Structure 1
């Protein structure tokens, strides 16, 4: 990942931690997300549909062992779940706008439970245009929420009721690869969620997508 983006991510953490620079930190977070989302859009412009299902690093350790289509799904399912169900307490875009049917996904979860070729098989089923539409809507809704935060909101913590609400929707698998997610999210305050699902999580998976793209076209 570009060193400038890594430095910007560190800068955001410092800025949102200080009431005097909080709003500047949010502005920089939106800038970071714009640059990262542009990278996702660039993949769509550059690659053919089959490239989004490719697994050149299958069997390796790391996010690059998955597919680009899966990575996009995973980033924005997590963001939709965290932003709407956990933070806002309202309905996920995935459900309110019928994106399971539109995308053609056999699952409603984050996808953490999928491994190896199951990831490739899952990726082939997805309508890429609808997946990009979903990603765009989730991003926009999260950013509307971020723009309306105040510094005091960062200390907001989450309750057992929040955890039970997440569990009731069955949007996180009970597999060992996934079931820890709800405890992790509910164990963070709002600041922690801003710094992981809404920024660092993007960076990690988009970097993995770049590794896949580069491997596919390295010859």
Structure 2
């Protein structure tokens, strides 16, 4: 994304924020969400007319660039693979456990094995040694496939919602599942508390859209620094 495209994305995200909880604007909100979401994922998810933000990130990127850690950039020292994985994990957890009350893509489509890493939580609360280990060991092709699978599941779930469902909130049992499935570390209760204050609309506006946008921005800064 260039600066003009990021500005347009932000303007549409603000528009979505204003209409997503209104049942009478449900169809427009779903359409706008799908547009915003598609811009952040590989183009084979939605087949847009031009490359997406994720397409641009992956284009001509070196494996050393993807795995490099730490990288001292504004707002983060984390590797590109960590940003890609973390944003996908957060979306998988919030959309599937807290939103749809279904199984995580990580487990239902066996990515916990193919990613070839022992880390299955959201990525919050990791120390430097753990981030370095994750960055070195994660399977890159499986990581790209996992992000695509998470995106496809989210798009299918949101497209099937009915007017009024954006205002629903996750139940205590759904939050128990997050901990039982070790999707969030017990030390990161603040994250569950944050999600607990959100309706499905709120989860869509942050983890499923804005959160991805923020981490793609951070990942792109790493690429630009290492591959000038």
Same fold (TM > 0.5): yes
After TM superposition, list the pairs within 5 Å mapping 1:40-119 onto structure 2.
Answer: 40-55=54-69, 57-58=71-72, 62=75, 64-119=76-131
- Structure 2's unaligned 5+ residue stretches are 42-51
Q: Structure 2 vs 1, CA of residues 27 and 213 (structure 1 numbering), >3 Å: closer, same or farther?
A: same
Distance apart, 1:183 and its partner CA:
2.0
- In structure 2, the partner of 1:171 is 183
- In structure 2, the partner of 1:27 is 31
- In structure 2, the partner of 1:212 is 222
Q: Aligned partners of 2:70 and 2:101: how far apart in 1?
A: 39
Distance apart, 1:158 and its partner CA:
2.2
- In structure 2, the partner of 1:184 is 194
Distance apart, 1:198 and its partner CA:
0.7
- In structure 2, the partner of 1:152 is 164
What's the TM-score once normalised by structure 1's chain length?
A: 0.90
- Structure 1's unaligned 5+ residue stretches are none
Contact 1:162-1:186 within 8 A present in 2 as well:
no
Q: Aligned partners of 1:120 and 1:134: how far apart in 2?
A: 20
Distance apart, 1:71 and its partner CA:
0.8
Residue 3 in structure 1 maps to residue 13 in structure 2: no
Q: Aligned partners of 2:159 and 2:140: how far apart in 1?
A: 29
Distance apart, 1:73 and its partner CA:
0.7
SS at match of 1:151: coil
Residue 197 in structure 1 maps to residue 211 in structure 2: no
Q: CA RMSD in A?
A: 1.8
Find runs of 4+ consecutive structure 1 residues off by over 6 angstroms: none
Q: Aligned partners of 1:31 and 1:170: how far apart in 2?
A: 32
Q: Aligned partners of 1:155 and 1:67: how far apart in 2?
A: 35
Distance apart, 1:69 and its partner CA:
0.3
Q: Aligned partners of 1:75 and 1:203: how far apart in 2?
A: 9
Distance apart, 1:61 and its partner CA:
6.4
Q: Aligned partners of 1:216 and 1:193: how far apart in 2?
A: 33
